[in-house]
Chain A
Amino acid sequence: MRPDQLQQGQEQKKQGIDVAVLVSIGRHPTTGRARRAEQDARGLELALAMEAELPGTRISVLHAGPQNDDGEAALRGYLGMGLESMTLLEQPEGSDAILALVEHLAATSPQLVITGARAERGEGSGLLPYALAEHLGWPLVNSLASVEKVENGVVTLLQALPRGQRRRLKVRLPAIISVDEAAPAARQSAFGPARRATFSVTPTAPEADSELAQWHLAPARKRPKRLKIVKAASARDRFKAAASKAEGKGGQVLTDVTPEQGAEAIYKLLKEEEVLR
């Protein structure tokens, strides 16, 4: 490597970026106790790993919601992973977090926003990353496995696909990435740092979630699952069927179609599958 290249390499290494990690209050699946949400914690772990790799990376942790003791204890679970503070966008109970987050993100303009794919309480629709991306006009990459490097405002990401496949993507910053179980597991939360960390509370304009208010919420019940019927002649076939995920069948690949044709095809499929009636 020539000296000027080396110097350039070092400069790139030093190039840290501003990362905002969105965290929510989780819910333990067995006991329902508030905790750090599994996916959001993985998102924070990803950011902390970036900080170690890319010195100069600044992590800001963001939570939008009401301020109460139970929630604070759960949020401290994130802080115990080794953070000094967290920004709390204070909202009354039942507010829509999206607008508050959009406003804050637009004002602070981080280069990368990391969020869990789906919240463990509330609607848990998994739409928040998409809504943020729509409002901010930033690209979104879901199901992230790792962040490989950041170079000249372009981040190289590894996206997880089903059955262990990975796809390498280059995305121009700013961008939003969402993580699920494919991302590395979160580190242990330690009591001492969690206790010492501070919250900076920013009140936001109350923005009632009018749609949620109209919803009727009930505990989920287990739904019947369609069984996979395997007609296998040999043990090898049976094993293959058990070990592999079902391939999508009967689909069609549309190439070089106009957006209208594409939308029409999707609309037709949703009708067929009785998603839309």
Chain B
Amino acid sequence: MLETLLPILIFTALALAVIGAVRRIRLWRQGRPSRVNLLKGLVALPRRYLVDLHHVVGRDKMISNTHVATAGGFVAAAALMILVHGLGIANPLLGGLLLLASASMFVGSLFVARRRINPPARLSKGPWMRLPKSLMAFSIGVFLITLPTVGLLPDSLIEGSGSWLLALVLAGVVAWGLGEMFFGMAWGGPMKHAFAGALHLAFHRRAERFSTKKGGAGRSTGLKALNLEDEAAPLGVEKPADFTWNQLLGFDACVQCGRCEAVCPAFAAGQPLNPKKLIQDMVVGMAGGSDATYAGSPYPGKPVGEHAGTPHGPIVALEGKALVDADTLWSCTTCRACVEECPMMIEHVDAIVDMRRHLTLERGKTPNKGAEVLDNLIATDNPGGFDPGSRLNWAADLNLPLMSDLKQVDVLLWLGDGAFDMRNQRTLRALVKVLRAAEVDFAVLGTEERDSGDVARRLGDEATFQSLAKRNIATLSQYRFLQIVTCDPHSFHVLGNEYGELGGHYDVRHHSTFIAELYDAGRLTFSPWKGGSVTYHDPCYLGRYNGEYDAPRNVLKALGIEVKEMERSGFRSRCCGGGGGAPITDIPGERRIPDMRMNDVKESGAELVAVGCPQCTAMLEGVVDASAEVRDIAELVADALVERPTDGASGRSRRPAATTSAEEVTV
């Protein structure tokens, strides 16, 4: 009886899965076109899955092994089951392998079940709670029906006259398993993540994110430019269908593991953002409906079930509520912690900025100080509205060499908008002192420099970003230099990763990287560190955006400092709250993000926190009653400088004229 029932069950489930898959694909294809090499993507899929994805999943060994056993077991079992039970190829070898696969899947599902006992808050409940049971049903069912095939169990037990009841029960269990695994995969059940996730990996919008056989883990963090020349192209994303089709596919890949929620600084601060909920809201919007069935943590302060949307309806309502409220989108600091943690490689920040672009460019609804900052950037080329002619006032006594005089230098020192900020001017003066001590051939653009466009772009004002970027690129093209050095990771990121699309290709270095290189080349000598214990705060735009974790630590090591790491450091560093225009849009929460970060510093026991970003300095120094001092790496280096033995200096110095002026500098 089973012999007739099983093929029917299997092929019905498969047919339904195909119908569901077609429907799902049609949902994704509501999105706008995106150029992806489909074949190349599919070929790269195994490597992207086994190497890049498991690199992320493997950070949690337990769940990684669980997934290998369960998913590996399932894929093998499903394929073999179709052969053995669907097509009736009762080969004992295939049967034996099928037993092995289903057993492995069963063991995996036990661990999945264990995780669902008192699951952490970040995991979604709802249908996800039944998943371990369904996994078990499938694995046990398949295991049992395969036993007779390999002859471990007499056929008569199932084929016997009185055992039709047993056969029916077995068929029922298998049907349950098939329902969840095949039917549910394509019709929006928890197993959807496997189907959508695999295709998302293959057709990812940032193919350069993945490593290749040639080596080198790819990094792709620059936002994609809007085509402003084409007046018909939408400015950002108004409705779910305005996303590209592979972005929609990416949202559908979410497994609701909540790793993003666990690392999101805005969520932790009680601001109305939860990256996981945001992605689920996009899935709701893509299919149409309400968020009432969502079974995870809500946006802080916003109950679930009050928002609904359609693929062609607005995401943010002009009045009242739609799919997402605007303050959710403006809470993001663009720190990329969620993207870094996401095992499905979903690009949350891209989606948020896409939606912000619509709010700013089409509706003119940048909240709080946003409009003022953007107006300042348009009128004065800096967010503070300062006189552009005063950009170099802080250095009136430093006699900084200007690019307009020299035309050609080794290093162009990019000052950034910190040049207008009195705190950052101390950092800049320290950096100039260091560069002069190392006799670096450098110059600044001075008043020719403009804001890099970072804040404008993250506030969604792509037009102002591109205007600033194009003018900066035109200025830079007049001069010859080997590299740009900056103490602002935001400028670093924009100049290095985002100007390329607009025609500006530069070798950009963060000052910590450059100082580390100078030290390694023997051009800097430090006195030993006499201060207290020190920790280091990784700026998001230096670490996660540009992968520079080592250079700042090497500099601190060279200074004789042993870094007391915070619990969240390196790629898991917690944001200071200063990125993405968050201090400008200033969405209220229950706590302040910089307070939480300074608390991390306190827990590390350090008396001083070394930073490498003007935003981080401003945010962390703004914390009241802090237990640690905040110092930029450049300041620490400048304080520790000792004069080098003269014989070494004269040998390397290429510009002896600069030596005299170097001695005049006092910071």
A contacts, CB < 8 Å to B: 28, 30-31, 33, 35, 80-82, 187-193, 195-196
Contacts and interface: CB of A to CB of B under 8 A. Distances in A.
A80 B231 contact: no
Interface in B219-267: 231, 235
23 contacts: A28-B379, A28-B380, A30-B380, A30-B385, A30-B387, A31-B379, A31-B387, A35-B378, A81-B364, A82-B364, A187-B364, A187-B371, A188-B365, A188-B371, A190-B360, A190-B361, A190-B364, A191-B361, A191-B461, A192-B235, A192-B361, A193-B362, A196-B231
B605 interface: no
B270 interface: no
A35 B365 CA distance: 19
**Which 7 residue pairs are nearest across A and B when measured between Cβ atoms?**
A190-B364, A188-B364, A188-B371, A192-B362, A28-B379, A191-B463, A191-B361
A114 to B, nearest CB: 20
Nearest to A27: B379
Contacts of A187: 364, 371
B363 interface: yes
Nearest to A193: B362
Interface residues of B, number: 22
A260 to B, nearest CB: 50
A263 B323 CA distance: 66
Contacts of B362: 190-193
A192 B385 CA distance: 23
Interface of B: 231, 235, 360-366, 370-371, 374-375, 378-380, 385-388, 461, 463
Contacts of B388: 30-31
Contact of A188 (B374, B380, B386): B374
A34 to B, nearest CB: 9
Nearest to A192: B362
Nearest to A186: B371
A187 B371 CA distance: 8
Contacts of B363: 190
Given A28-B380, A188-B371, 20 more contacts: A30-B379, A30-B380, A30-B385, A30-B386, A31-B380, A31-B388, A35-B378, A80-B364, A187-B364, A187-B371, A188-B360, A188-B364, A188-B374, A190-B360, A190-B361, A190-B364, A191-B235, A192-B235, A193-B362, A195-B231
A195 B362 CA distance: 10
A193 B366 CA distance: 15
A191 B361 CA distance: 5
B644 to A, nearest CB: 44
Contacts of B380: 28, 30-31
A51 B362 CA distance: 19
Contacts, number: 47
A95 B364 CA distance: 34
Chain A CB count within 10 A is highest, among B364, B385, B387, B388, for: B364
B355 to A, nearest CB: 14
Nearest to B370: A188
A271 B76 CA distance: 103
Nearest to A82: B364
Contacts of B378: 35
A188 B360 CA distance: 9
A193 B287 CA distance: 29
A181 B474 CA distance: 38
Contacts of B366: 188
B222 to A, nearest CB: 21
Nearest to A189: B364
Nearest to A196: B231
Contacts of A188: 360, 364-366, 370-371, 374
A188 B372 CA distance: 8
A205 to B, nearest CB: 34
Nearest to B463: A191
Contacts of B361: 190-192
A12 to B, nearest CB: 24
Nearest to A33: B379
B84 to A, nearest CB: 59
Contacts of A193: 362, 364
A80 to B, nearest CB: 6
Nearest to B461: A191
Nearest to A28: B379
Contacts of A195: 231
Contacts of B375: 35
Contacts of A33: 379
A96 B170 CA distance: 94
B379 A35 contact: yes
A97 to B, nearest CB: 24
A195 B467 CA distance: 15
B411 to A, nearest CB: 29
A196 B360 CA distance: 15
Contacts of A82: 364
A71 B163 CA distance: 90
A188 B379 CA distance: 14
A237 to B, nearest CB: 36
A37 B235 CA distance: 26
A187 B367 CA distance: 11
A76 B184 CA distance: 52
A28 B380 CA distance: 9
A154 to B, nearest CB: 31
A215 B502 CA distance: 46
Chain B CB count within 10 A is highest, among A31, A35, A82, A191, for: A191
Contacts of B463: 191
A121 to B, nearest CB: 14
B453 to A, nearest CB: 14
B203 to A, nearest CB: 29
Nearest to B360: A190
Nearest to B235: A192
Nearest to B374: A188
A5 B612 CA distance: 69
B460 to A, nearest CB: 10
Nearest to A80: B364
Chain B CB count within 10 A is highest, among A28, A35, A80, for: A28
Nearest to B386: A30
A247 B619 CA distance: 45
B357 to A, nearest CB: 10
A73 B235 CA distance: 19
A80 B464 CA distance: 14
Chain A CB count within 10 A is highest, among B379, B387, B388, B463, for: B379
Contacts of B379: 28, 30-31, 33, 35
B76 to A, nearest CB: 52
A133 to B, nearest CB: 31
Contacts of A191: 235, 360-362, 461, 463
A167 B152 CA distance: 99
A45 to B, nearest CB: 12
A80 B235 CA distance: 14
Nearest to A29: B379
A82 B318 CA distance: 14
Nearest to B365: A188
Contacts of B360: 188, 190-191
A28 B388 CA distance: 12
A195 B232 CA distance: 11
A33 B388 CA distance: 12
Contacts of B231: 195-196
A80 B371 CA distance: 13
B581 to A, nearest CB: 14
B365 to A, nearest CB: 7
Contacts of B387: 30-31
Contacts of B374: 188
Nearest to B390: A30
Nearest to B381: A31
A130 B235 CA distance: 42
Chain B CB count within 10 A is highest, among A33, A192, A195, for: A192
Contacts of A80: 364
A33 B364 CA distance: 21
A81 B385 CA distance: 21
Contacts of B371: 187-188
Chain B CB count within 10 A is highest, among A30, A33, A187, A195, for: A30
